[in-house]
Amino acid sequence: MVEQLRAAVGQLPNVTLLHSDARRLGPVLAAVKRADIVFIDISGGAPPFQTAALGKAYRTRLRPRILVLRNTKLNAFAQSLGYVEASRTAGATA
């Protein structure tokens, strides 16, 4: 995936593409001070609270317009909230 992205946008003058450990924010801040878009792919085993904490750290330091957090456990958690909310709404109208 990283190589495909590098091939597609790597030569653009306004794009800085970094591939590093998301938990180590120091090297990222050394390379860029501000970002419009941040994409963080965190391993599926990372707990949702860790993913949310990383998202907050990147959001407050880089102030991106778009922040994408990719994590299977966080996704499952968010989907379960939607399911519970939908079920609660459906039950209220019956």
Write out pLDDT tens, residues 13-60.
Answer: 888 888 888 888 999 999 888 889 888 888 767 888 888 899 999 999
- Note the pTM of the prediction, 2 decimals: 0.69
User: Nearest to residue 45, comparing CAs of 70, 77, 19, 71?
Assistant: 71
Give dist(CA 30, CA 75) in Å, integer. Answer: 30
- The pLDDT of residue 86 is 62
Can you tell me which residue has the tokens 């800085």? 16
Helix (H) and strand (E) counts in the chain: 4, 2
Q: What are phi and psi of 38, to 5 degrees?
A: -125, 125
Cα end-to-end distance, the chain, whole Å: 46
Burial of 74 (0-12, 13-18, 19+ CB in 10 A): buried
